[in-house]
Amino acid sequence: MRLILKNCNYLGKEQRDIYIADGKFSEKYPDDQADRIIDVKGALVTPGLIDMHVHLREPGLEYKEDIASGTRAAARGGFTGVCCMPNTDPVVDNPAIVASIIKRAEEVGNCRVYPIGAASKGLKGEELSEIGLMKEAGIVAVSDDGKPISTAGFMRKVLEYCSDFDVPVLNHCEDKSLSGGAMNEGPVSTSIGIRGIPSASEDVMIARDIIIAEYLGLPVHLCHVSTKSGMRMIRDAKARGVKVTCETCPHYFTLTDDYCVDYSANYKMHPPLGTREDVEAVIEAIIDGTVDTIVTDHAPHHQDEKEIEFSLALNGIVGLESSFALCYTYLVKTGKITLDRLMDLMCHNPSDILKLGRGGMEIGDDADLAVFDIENEFTFDKNKMLTKGRNTPYDGWKLYGETLYTVMGGNITYEKLC
């Protein structure tokens, strides 16, 4: 495929044409040698986005999502790479399942899929999984998400063992002895009669992992950080030289627990939505560099699992198709961060943490890119999503940054049809 993109707003810095040949960014060649020429008319062109925390649900939970539908949604969101979590059925805790996920993703061809293996067999927190063999099969990290790595002793064992294989460790931050509720503990939960989860549940685990990482001198990555205290601890740890990185999600800087008052489970997630102070702290941490990556924690569920009583509904929302637009609208367009900073958060830093070698747009690099309309407002419509899930809180929101095209390895994997 020889593709030319004309009149690109390249990374928000300059107008240029982009040439692609044989899956790579190419030197300029004559227009008549192209298989296709697209005039993007000044739309923003960026590297393909990378999401290091998604749930594709395959194998075993395909009624919620599968690799085909999840990667279609990813491509529609401008993503050319996603890292899928291991809490499937069966759990991704051996090389055979890792290989099957990679093979299926290659067959589908919508998006690069990087499996994350389970840290423990069956996510039980008792016995190390086959980490070395899974690394050979293609995992890029380990995690027991959506469960925390159970004990401090087992966390130490995971970090030390993974250091031998140069495999990053990602942890879901939750002290389960504190987290028996359904939303953030505070005035809102009290007023609507829902049992709350104290923010200390997340903070205690963050503190534990920082202490262990500092003691061992080994890196740890903390998943979907959402609290004011958590961000403060991570900021202080980084200042001391602790090898800690972290991620957050768009819902933690666009939503508060006030949204739960109508009992819609589209606002039920874990960690739970926090207070206005938490939201402001997350934004501050994004601005000052404490946050390394923005992820979606894309968690599709069947409507029967979400359209029920709030306390009984499953946690999580879909996010692949709304993430960039939310980030652009609420972080870049408002002047809180630059587009370059957003690209670090959504592409370069995930690639660096997981050693993926992605995000380049120089001649000879793999041609992974996305094209976004940042000039015209659009209404996010859950009925137009390509994921199987409809569990989004953003239906009807007015946003900027709609995806027009996604190109992965020189092939168009998403194209908005007028």
CA distance 353 to 116: 13
CA distance 380 to 382: 7
Number of Cβ within 10 Å of residue 332's Cβ equals: 20
CA distance 97 to 90: 8
CA distance 104 to 168: 24
CA distance 58 to 139: 15
Catalytic residue from among 66, 297, 344, 366: 297
Active site residue 395: no
C-alpha dist (Å) from residue 195 to 178, 201, 269, 305, 397: 12, 14, 14, 19, 29
- Contacts of residue 369, Cβ cutoff 8 Å, sequence gap at least 6: 5, 18, 45, 46, 47, 48, 80, 361, 406, 407
**Token pair belonging to 69:** 């539908």
Q: CB of 145 within 8 A of CB of 87?
A: yes
Q: Which residues are catalytic?
A: 297
